[in-house]
Amino acid sequence: MGQEQSMSEFRKSVDWERIYHSKEFRRLKSNRMRFVVPAIIAVCMVFLFLWTVQSYIPALANVQLLGFINFSFLLTMILFPTIWLAGFAYTKYVERYVEPYEEGLLKTYGKKEAGHE
């Protein structure tokens, strides 16, 4: 309860609008979005392609590439490691291009803040 109250007081004491418009925050946000937006678009495009091929282009979906293993199945299976690698890449990207700005903000504004490493 005590920690909750001090957090609430801390939040009231911070000039959020100033931080929002600060250079560090804008950089932090744009760096994160630089990964997130293309990644979401890429995921949507890949799945739109996969489902379109499966639904409307059976000649391509059913092309046998390895014995009876066809294009549609292979593409689906390749997505497992590819998307995992994209997730792993995101965590490394955030560590390199987002966290330094987060730490800068926390150092400048978040001395009383709890729950961070």
Angle between helices 99-109 and 23-56 (to 10 degrees): 150
Is 74 a residue that touches other proteins (CB under 8 A)? Answer: no
Read off the amino acid at residue 97: Y
CB of 117 to other proteins, least distance (A): 5
Is 97 a residue that touches other proteins (CB under 8 A)? Answer: no
d(CA 34, CA 38) in angstroms, rounded, equals: 7
Q: How many residues does the chain have?
A: 117
Q: Please check whether residue 110 is in contact with residue 25, taking contact to mean a CB–CB distance below 8 angstroms.
A: no
CB of 23 to other proteins, least distance (A): 13
Q: How many CA atoms lie within 13 A of 66 on its CB side?
A: 5
Among 41, 45, 58, 100, binds other proteins (CB under 8 A): 58
Is 49 a residue that touches other proteins (CB under 8 A)? Answer: no
d(CA 66, CA 64) in angstroms, rounded, equals: 6
Helix (H, G, I), strand (E, B) or coil at 69: strand
Is 40 a residue that touches other proteins (CB under 8 A)? Answer: yes
Contact residues for other proteins (CB under 8 A)? Answer: 1, 3-4, 7, 10-11, 14, 16-17, 19-20, 25, 28-29, 32, 35-36, 39-40, 43, 47-48, 51, 54-56, 58, 61-62, 66-70, 72-73, 76-77, 79-81, 83-84, 86-88, 90-91, 94, 101-102, 105-106, 109-110, 113-117
